[in-house]
Amino acid sequence: MHRTVSSYIIAARRTALGRVGGLHRNRRIDALAAPVITAALEDCGLPPERVDDVIIGNATHGGNPARLVALASGLPETTGAMTLDRQCASGLDAIVTACRNVADGEADVIVAGGVESLSTAPWRIAKPKSLYQLPHFIGVEPTMIDEAEEPHQFEASEELSQRLNIARDQQDAWALKSHLKAETAREQRRFVGEIVPLRTSPEEARDQSATTGASPEDFSDQPLLLPPEGRLTPANTSAMHDGAAMAVVVSDAVWEELGRPPALRLVASVSKGVAHDNEAGAPMEAMRKLYDRLEGFNPKDIGLVELSETSAAQAIAFTSSLGLEEDLINPNGGAVVRGHPLAAAGAVLVIRLFSRMVRQREEKRLQYGVATLGAIGGIGVAALFESI
């Protein structure tokens, strides 16, 4: 008989994020994800045999890497496994799908999240159109029928900054403030209990690109990504990174069995496609659609927004266009600081929400938080969570 239950995120962990060819340069996705799954299950006191399914977002490995990750994590061979690919939004999609599957009574315990290792991902090579042409490597971004119509993520942010007249110094100031937020968060140990060090070493406990002692000069001296008229630089944009982020989602029955631990609960989620020339605006459009879905809900009740921004320009446009308070956005630093781990990026946002809203239980209780980002190809995804 079909039964309707609620679902709860009761544990959430991630690795430190590493530059491509950096911290995780020799780690495959199973080596990244397995220790995180083990730690998350230990956090909530569930043995591996209780896991019914594993749902993981990944955009570069191919096949069904969720099965590889499940087995590497010591889960039973009887555990199901599914991989999702909506590019950058894959990890968030995986967690939302797990919440819905548990709420629909399809499972009692699901591990869900995202993992990406661009450092060790297989190379993709396009077959030449004729015998007289050489094969060529295929990049991360999806190829459209007319590649000229599909803007690169930085070109899309550059177009947004030009259209909205977001000056270079505004973008640098936002990025600098984001670095300072992350530095303060690290000093206050806000990432303790969130990041799983994969070996005993200080660099394994912090995001590799989140350097200390950032100053305005570090940003003003950066070269332009799109000269001569561009405004984006390596310092005010987010670079691709390696990393894994996983959450444990359980049913009402398991939540009760475990003594009703503090948790996150999914309230609503949306996705929204945008025109090819508005790719950088996808998160804003997703947020507007989310607001429309929430009849009777006051958006001012949202106390936290975790955005995996492509650039400072996108974050500035997101904040101003939606009329949000700047302090609500990425209070511990955003993707321009820690990097953007492609399919794991959305899952990292949920782990960040869990840390602020559940693990740390700050004096001012944060009841509602949003995870949102734009996926390569022009799709925005947003999910609203409630702390329980």
pLDDT in tens, 137-185: 877 655 443 444 334 678 889 999 999 999 999 999 999 999 999 999 9
pLDDT at 143: 47
The average confidence (pLDDT) of the chain is: 92
Cα–Cα nearest to 239, from 31, 30, 35, 23 = 23
Residue type at 100?
R
Q: What does each C-alpha distance from 188 to 15, 182, 184, 198 come to in angstroms?
A: 19, 10, 6, 22
Phi, psi of 341 (to 5 degrees): -85, 45
Tell me the pLDDT tens digit for each residue of 358-377. Answer: 998 765 678 999 999 999 88
Percent pLDDT > 70 in the chain is: 95
Placement of tokens 């899952």 in the chain = 347
Predicted model pTM: 0.93
Bridge-based pairing state of the strands 264-273 and 379-387? antiparallel
Residue 5 has pLDDT above 80, yes or no: no
pLDDT at 364: 66
Q: Which active-site residues does the annotation give? A: 88, 340
Q: What does each C-alpha distance from 78 to 45, 169, 379, 387 come to in angstroms?
A: 20, 55, 34, 32
- Please state the rounded mean pLDDT for residues 64-79: 97
**CB neighbour list of residue 314: distance below 8 Å, 6 or more residues apart:** 157, 160, 280, 283, 374
Q: What does each C-alpha distance from 13 to 34, 112, 214 come to in angstroms?
A: 11, 11, 27
Residue 55 has pLDDT above 60, yes or no: yes
pLDDT at 365: 76
Cα–Cα nearest to 329, from 355, 347, 309 = 309
- Please state the rounded mean pLDDT for residues 245-259: 98
- Please state the rounded mean pLDDT for residues 382-388: 96
pLDDT at 362: 61
The Cα–Cα gap between 306 and 373 comes to 9
Residue 28's pLDDT band (boundaries 50, 70, 90)?
A: very high
The Cα–Cα gap between 12 and 111 comes to 10
Residue 295's pLDDT band (boundaries 50, 70, 90)?
A: confident
- Residue pair 303/368 in contact by the 8 Å Cβ criterion: yes
- The answer to whether the bond into 48 is cis (omega within 30° of 0) is no
The Cα–Cα gap between 237 and 171 comes to 9
**E strands, 161-286, in order:** 241-251, 264-273
Q: Tokens standing for 73?
A: 């994590």
Residue 4's pLDDT band (boundaries 50, 70, 90)?
A: very low
Could you tell me which residue, 218 or 30, shows the higher pLDDT? 30
**CB neighbour list of residue 1: distance below 8 Å, 6 or more residues apart:** none
Cα–Cα nearest to 16, from 185, 180, 191, 188 = 191
**E strands, the chain, in order:** 7-14, 18-19, 53-57, 80-84, 109-116, 125-126, 136-137, 241-251, 264-273, 302-308, 368-375, 379-387
The Cα–Cα gap between 189 and 182 comes to 10
pLDDT at 152: 65
**CB neighbour list of residue 32: distance below 8 Å, 6 or more residues apart:** 15, 24, 115, 117, 198, 242, 243, 244
The Cα–Cα gap between 263 and 243 comes to 23
Q: What does each C-alpha distance from 242 to 112, 188, 202 come to in angstroms?
A: 17, 25, 17
DSSP string, 113-163: EEEE-TTTPPP-EEPPSSTTS--EE--SSPP-SSGGGS--HHHHHHHHHHH
β-sheet bridge partners, residue 54: 81, 111
pLDDT at 2: 37
Q: How many CB atoms lie within 10 A of CB 367?
A: 14
